[in-house]
Amino acid sequence: MKSLNTLTASVLALACLGSGAASAQTEWLAGTTVRLGYTHLAPNSSATDAVGPLLPGPPSGVSLKVDSQRTLFFSLARDINPNVEVELALGLPPTHDVRAELSPALPPNVQRLNGQVIAKVRQIAPTLYVNYKFGEANSAFRPFVGLGVNYTNFDKRESTALGNQLNGGPTDLRLTDSWGLAAQAGLNYKINDKWSLSAAVLTARVKTQLTATTAGQARKIDIRFRPTVFTLSAGYVF
């Protein structure tokens, strides 16, 4: 269902682009590149052991790992000069599976949940880049590098049935927002004056603190992400 939604969104978005291209251009969009494509996001999370009441240890041996996800990529970019562009990268917010990572020292009744999906977390992570594009403005292939600021918000969090089993009951999850540096490197291929293709690898520094509250007992885990994000997109200049 989710992939079907994504597909529908992509088709709709492309249709929008088409109709946009066909209609008269507004003043503010002139010179803006709109990129739409595919993103694969490997979060490369590393998390501390949970701390808080009624846990084993310390260390509690209870931690987590965030799974990869794919989503629709969308960005708006504007040239400042022939070599420098400002890009706001967005995307359809991906929902990641979060898996339990449990120490082998924990007893078997807890071990049973090792590797199981204990939560689903949706993140919204707009990133603002300043990209430097190498080469001439009319070159077909232009490598680029970008440096930026990432903001990440975890807007939807759900503890799964297995997550509730691990935590000991219905569990409320909260994750703090993150601000951090982001960087990307990629290659643009210019098809014609309007259309181009881009491939990029990007990363960001994302840190958050997860608070899992079960029946009033709050347990905390610090999570650090060093994501590897790969995007493929088609761009259109207005």
Partner 1 sequence: MKYLNGLALTSAAILLAACGGGSDTGGSSSVDNSGARGSLVHNPPLRVTGMTAAEFATRLGETANGKSLLQIAGTPKCGVNFHYMEYGTVGGASEATNATGAIMVPTGSDPACAGARPIVLYAHGTTTDRAYNIADILDPARPGASEGSLLGAMYAAQGFIVVAPNYAGYDASRLAYHPYLNADQQSKEMIDALAAARKALPNIGSADSGKLLLTGYSQGGHVAMATHRALQAAGQTVTASAPMSGPYALAAQGEATYFGNVNLGSTVFTPMLVTSFQRAYGNIYTNLTDVYEPGFAPGMDTLLPSTTPIGTLFAEGKLPQTTLFSSTVPTAPTPALQALFNNITPPTTPASLAPLFALGFGTKNLITNQSRVDFLLDALANPDGAVPAVTTGATATAPAHPMRKALKANDLRNWSPKRPVMLCGGNGDPTVFYSINTQLMKSLWTAPSPLAPAAGLLTVLDVDSASPGAGDPFAAARAGFAQAKAATYAAGGANAVTQAYHGSLVPPFCNAAARGFFQQVLASGI
Specify the amino acid at residue 233: S
178 binds partner 1 (CB under 8 A): no
Amino acid present at 79: D
Least distance in angstroms from the C-beta of 216 to partner 1: 5
Q: By CB under 8 A, tell whether 234 contacts partner 1.
A: no
- Between CA 116 and CA 159 the distance in angstroms is 12
Nearest approach, Cβ of residue 155 and partner 1 (Å): 5
- Nearer Cβ to partner 1 (46/217): 217
Scanning 16-24, 97-105, 135-143, 178-186 for contacts with partner 1 by CB under 8 A, the matching segment is 16-24
Cα–Cα distance measured from residue 97 to residue 80, given in angstroms and rounded to the nearest whole number: 39
3-state helix, strand and coil shares in percent for the chain, rounded to the nearest 5: 15, 60, 30
CA 137/CA 150 separation, integer angstroms: 27
**Token pair recorded at residue 120:** 């689903």
Determine the Cα angle at 47 with ends 42 and 52, to 5°.
145
φ and ψ of 162, to 5 deg:
-70, -35
Q: Taking CB under 8 A as the rule, does residue 114 contact partner 1?
A: no
Footprint of partner 1 on 55-84 (CB under 8 A): 55-57, 74
160 binds partner 1 (CB under 8 A): yes
CB of 7 to partner 1, least distance (A): 16
Sites of contact with partner 1 (CB under 8 A): 13, 15-17, 19-20, 23-26, 29, 34, 54-57, 74, 90, 92-93, 107-110, 124, 126, 153, 155-161, 163-164, 168-174, 177, 214-217
